[in-house]
């Protein structure tokens, strides 16, 4: 329902910092990610091009940054931990 957050603000065990669900055109159903889709469906996913914001449930074209309705970020912001920081694997 628009205006209400999704369960866990859209995050799942595969993508803990993704705050959106994706609407899959193969079945018209929404899931937090492609892995969740395949685990709960009897078919392989087709690439999703629509999403529901995890904070306000507004459905819109898929985006990587902000919800076009409430303006909140739908994916985790980049940090210096992995991008050249402490999380660097090749030191």
- Determine the pLDDT at residue 91: 44
Reported pTM: 0.77
Question: Helix, strand, or coil here: 60?
Answer: strand
User: Which ranges of the chain does DSSP label H, i.e. alpha helix?
Assistant: 34-40
Interior angle at CA 62, CA 59 and CA 68, nearest 5: 60
- Determine the pLDDT at residue 64: 80
DSSP state of 18: B
- Determine the pLDDT at residue 78: 57
Say if residue 89's pLDDT is above 50. no
Nearest to 78 by CA among 62, 64, 58, 63: 64
Nearest to 54 by CA among 76, 86, 28, 39: 76
Encode pLDDT of 1-54 as tens digits: 788 999 999 999 998 888 999 999 999 999 999 999 999 999 999 999 999 999
């Amino acid at each position: 329902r628009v205006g209400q957050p999704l369960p866990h603000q859209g995050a799942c065990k595969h993508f803990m910092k993704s705050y959106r669900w994706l609407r899959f055109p193969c079945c018209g159903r929404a899931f937090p990610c492609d892995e969740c889709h395949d685990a709960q469906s009897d078919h392989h996913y087709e690439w999703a091009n629509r999403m529901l914001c995890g904070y306000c449930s507004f459905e819109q074209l898929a985006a990587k940054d902000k919800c076009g309705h409430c303006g909140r970020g739908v994916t985790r912001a980049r940090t210096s931990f992995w991008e050249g920081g402490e999380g660097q694997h090749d030191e």
